[in-house]
Structure 1
Amino acid sequence: MSQAHENRTTSTEAPERLTGSVVVVALVSAVSGLLYGYDTGIISGALLQIGEDFDIGSGWEQVIAASILVGAVIGALSCSWLAERRGRRGTLLLVGVVFVVGAVAASLAPTPFLLSISRLVLGFAVGGATQTAPVYVAELAPTAYRGRLVLFFQIAIGVGIVIATVVGASESVPWRLSIGVAAVPAALMFLLMLRLPESPRWLLRSGDADAARAALASVRPPERDLEREFGEIRENVEAEREAGTRGWSGLRAAWVRPALVVGCGLAVFTQLSGIEMIVYYSPTILTDNGFSDSTALRVSVALGLTYLIAQLIGLAVIDRVGRRRLTLITLPGAAAALFVLGAFFATGNDGKSMIPWIVGTLITFMAFTAGGIQLMGWLTGSEIYPLATRAAGAAAQSAALWGTNVLITLTLLSIMRTIGTGPTFWMYGLFNVAAFVFLYRTMPEMTGHSLEEIETRLEEGRFTPAGFAR
């Protein structure tokens, strides 16, 4: 283990106080997460109005819903490249501009085709923000506050989903306004970024030590001794430069592959869990099966609130229960809820008298999946990869997550039309069973282990559940 790693693990004292710049960093993290949750969630209620305005069927609805996800894949991959070459701050400023342009263009789109293209542009910003913002925040935040700033990002996603479902459920807000209003927080994010410096770590990697020192000083209290922290960053950057396994090519190394398999597999299963089916299409699914629009939209709000509450509970207990254990405990509950939902629809028990049972089962599913596997998709990307491949690994994991999301969104309504609502729920229940088997066999318990310990076990070929148990 390098000296830089040893120094980093021992430097855990918090600064005496938070600076205004660090508070702005927290706000940027929160706004980017909120935009992610809102822009992906608002389509759930808006699709009911869009379908009527444009007189389109399920095929176009799937394309409109999925276009933002295709853009997110492109944004996650390209912004990973941009952030490495042009800096984190510059990339996030670009993302803020694209957020505004995409939201305004989508709200004014005169045809389904142009609406899809506008949401593709908006998706670029969503993917870019989710890829770049956590890295930027982690590199600016003091060590003692880093976890809480990541928490802001995760919780803000849930807040964005809740706001989107409330707006959709009101039915009085035109879909153009509900989509276009996202330009306001996007503009706020851009203005907040103007106050912040470039990442000191990126500046040092680019060879500008003076600018790196000035950037670090701007986000630390004046009384803070910067020499130790700046020395750790310098040693860490030098260790990255000397690493034999680096970047995208490093992900192909045999000893890194187990982390890539677990990370990308987990990202895929977070989407195959059925969460996006419920977030994007629950109003459409329910109205297609005889529910009124108002009932379906109120259910969507309840599901959004459940998502947020379950995330808060999961984040509160994850370090005590453990990442692996929490995931394996909650997956069977999610699978069982989907099997029960499938039985309701497959046996014709989906009438008005069954509404409380259907809604209760949907909420149960949302609680198990949001408080379990959904917490892991973004968290593991920052933990399981070696330092020199961490940015590339996180980008690959993001692309796997968004790519699976695209596939689901483009096919879900067509699958339901073909095999029925009940069997579709059963299919996703089986995906949760497969996720349990996959993660039980491959995912180690990383809670309580430092990033350096995780990397050491990778190097030793012990990145397995048994390898972390001893």
Structure 2
Amino acid sequence: MTGPMRLAAMVLTVGGLLFGYDTGVINGALPSMAADFSVDEKYEGFVTSALQFGAVFGAVFGGRFSDRHGRHRTVVLVAALFTVGAVGSVLAPYWWVLSLFRVVLGLAVGGASVTVPVYLAELAPTHLRGRIISQNEFMVVFGQLLAFAFNAGIAGVADAEQASTWRWMLAICILPAIVLWAGMTVVPESPRWLARGGRIDEMLEVLRKVREHTFTSDELGEVRELAERDEQAAQGTVSDVVRTPWIRRILVIGIGMAIINQISGINVVQYYGVTILSDAGFTGNTAFVVNLLIGLAGVVGVGVALAIMTRVRRKLMLSTGLTGTIVMLSVLAATSEFMSDDVVAKRWIVLVSIVVFVGISQCAIGTMTWLYMSEIFPLTVRGVAMGISTGVQWAVNFLVALFFPLLSAAWGFGMTITVFVILQILALAWVRLKVPETKDKSLERIEREFRDA
């Protein structure tokens, strides 16, 4: 990898880091927020889910904005939103003001989730594309781990339930937001986007800069061909998706995969992990420290997925992952519901079941969801179909984050987790019956098989 390409990748993956940090930091900030604002479970759900609400719109419209105005300008806007949202959140005087600025952060998170991977893919040479995009996926889960680590460190210095402790936790992400904003001054525009707009001379200059060699005619032809494909993909509309039966079937699968990624309960753990562990019996700062194991499990899970996904069939990996999450969630629900709080082993069973659940979910469900959605949509509607599916994913994420505290307070934690177990069983049956195998199939073959079915 050349120096300029490495630098561009480092800067852009800060967007993935911020994505992970901003979605994970709320995990440890909630106890202090509750003390500061004197809020109950209902308002905790509002504050937590505000980011996901903004991410729905950031994901749906971020891709369109990027197509029209360029990848570079979009990421600069995302960096600005990260900075404004972070500063506003830290200074928020009331819970509803904090919620509004978390919506701003959500716009940035949603925009980063659809733009940064595309930007990296279009800058990277073919033989490095998979490695560089995987680097961004790793940075997302690493950002969540960093959030848990800083939360634990700050909670160790200040009282975790003291008013304003949460402000220091949220303040950490101001620095990488500024780094992303400033770093974009050295990152060039996507050559593929430039070629699509007919700006060939600028495209050639970018290729010379990021690859540090005189590119071949094959490389130039590849970029032009991909630009033509992008132009074709941009012509697809929602009407094309809805009115064409075989494309509509694919969209249903894409939306189903997006929903499956959220109804496992993975984000309940990511957002409310410290609260869950505290309720299980880990008192004081111990909950923050053991919560680091959850973040580490996510990092390890993604690492394992990247190592084995080229050798394991997609459907097998997804089915195995769902089976594993069903087992671990069942253990968690049964332990929480039937084991007495006086039993010392209870807290450790809860912790181990959550850690194993997160590792399995991140390895076999999260990674497979994004991989499936990148493969199954026909080129002519790929942009609009990905926008719809990603929007649905964030919408379900929002609902889970909003209603979990309410349901947990009304039904109890064990019964609420049982709901996720039932949903996972339904998801496993749906995957076995409806989801096709796509490993080792070209995109053209996948499209042809859907069309002929």
Same fold (TM over 0.5): yes
What secondary structure sits across from 1:197 in the alignment?
coil
Whole-angstrom distance in 1 between the partners of 2:229 and 2:239: 17
Match of 2:218 in 1: 228
Match of 1:37 in 2: 20
1:113 and 2:104 aligned: no
What secondary structure sits across from 2:55 in the alignment?
helix
1:246 and 2:229 aligned: no
Whole-angstrom distance in 1 between the partners of 2:81 and 2:394: 18
Matching residue within 433, 443, 458 for 2:435 = 443
1:418 and 2:410 aligned: yes
Task: Report the alpha carbon displacement of residue 296 of structure 1 after superposing the two structures with TM.
Answer: 2.2
Task: Report the alpha carbon displacement of residue 247 of structure 1 after superposing the two structures with TM.
Answer: 4.2
Match of 2:117 in 1: 134
What secondary structure sits across from 1:39 in the alignment?
helix
Deviations 1:437-470, CA, capped at 9 Å, x for gaps: 1111122221222223223323333xxxxxxxxx
Match of 1:14 in 2: none
Whole-angstrom distance in 1 between the partners of 2:137 and 2:22: 15
Deviating more after overlay: 35-44 vs 215-224: 215-224
Matching residue within 354, 374, 385 for 1:362 = 354
Which residue identity does 1:94 align to in structure 2?
A: L
Whole-angstrom distance in 1 between the partners of 2:376 and 2:26: 33
Which residue identity does 1:235 align to in structure 2?
A: E
1:162 and 2:145 aligned: yes
Deviations 1:328-367, CA, capped at 9 Å, x for gaps: 1121111111111111121143445122222111222122
Which residue identity does 1:158 align to in structure 2?
A: V
Sort the Cα spacing of 1:250 and 1:141 in 2 relative to 1 into closer, same or farther, 3 A: farther
Whole-angstrom distance in 2 between the partners of 1:91 and 1:425: 38
Q: Any stretches of 5+ residues in structure 2 without a counterpart?
A: 159-164
Conserved 8 A contact 2:79-2:178: yes
Sort the Cα spacing of 1:435 and 1:350 in 2 relative to 1 into closer, same or farther, 3 A: farther
Conserved 8 A contact 1:44-1:281: yes
Conserved 8 A contact 2:262-2:393: yes
Matching residue within 382, 387, 410 for 2:374 = 382
Which residue identity does 1:182 align to in structure 2?
A: C
Whole-angstrom distance in 2 between the partners of 1:94 and 1:243: 24
Task: Report the alpha carbon displacement of residue 245 of structure 1 after superposing the two structures with TM.
Answer: 6.6
Deviating more after overlay: 233-242 vs 379-388: 233-242
Match of 2:161 in 1: none
Matching residue within 330, 337, 351 for 1:339 = 330
Over 6 Å off, 4+ runs: none
Deviations 1:378-430, CA, capped at 9 Å, x for gaps: 22332221223222222222111110010001100111111111111111111
Conserved 8 A contact 1:330-1:373: yes
Conserved 8 A contact 2:332-2:349: no
Conserved 8 A contact 1:29-1:149: no
Alignment of 1:308-347 (within 5 A): 308-347=299-338
Conserved 8 A contact 1:339-1:429: yes
Matching residue within 348, 373, 391 for 1:399 = 391
Which residue identity does 2:14 align to in structure 1?
A: V
Deviating more after overlay: 314-323 vs 120-129: 314-323
Alignment of 1:3-402 (within 5 A): 18-170=1-153, 171=155, 172=157, 174-225=165-216, 227-239=217-229, 241=231, 246-252=236-242, 253-353=244-344, 354-402=346-394
Whole-angstrom distance in 2 between the partners of 1:32 and 1:408: 24
Whole-angstrom distance in 2 between the partners of 1:141 and 1:316: 20
Match of 1:428 in 2: 420
Whole-angstrom distance in 1 between the partners of 2:349 and 2:229: 57
Conserved 8 A contact 2:85-2:104: yes
Deviating more after overlay: 316-325 vs 342-351: 342-351
Which residue identity does 1:113 align to in structure 2?
A: W
Conserved 8 A contact 2:18-2:177: yes
> TM-score when scaled to structure 2?
0.93
Deviating more after overlay: 400-409 vs 348-357: 348-357
Task: Report the alpha carbon displacement of residue 54 of structure 1 after superposing the two structures with TM.
Answer: 1.3
Conserved 8 A contact 2:250-2:376: yes
Q: Percent identity, please.
A: 35
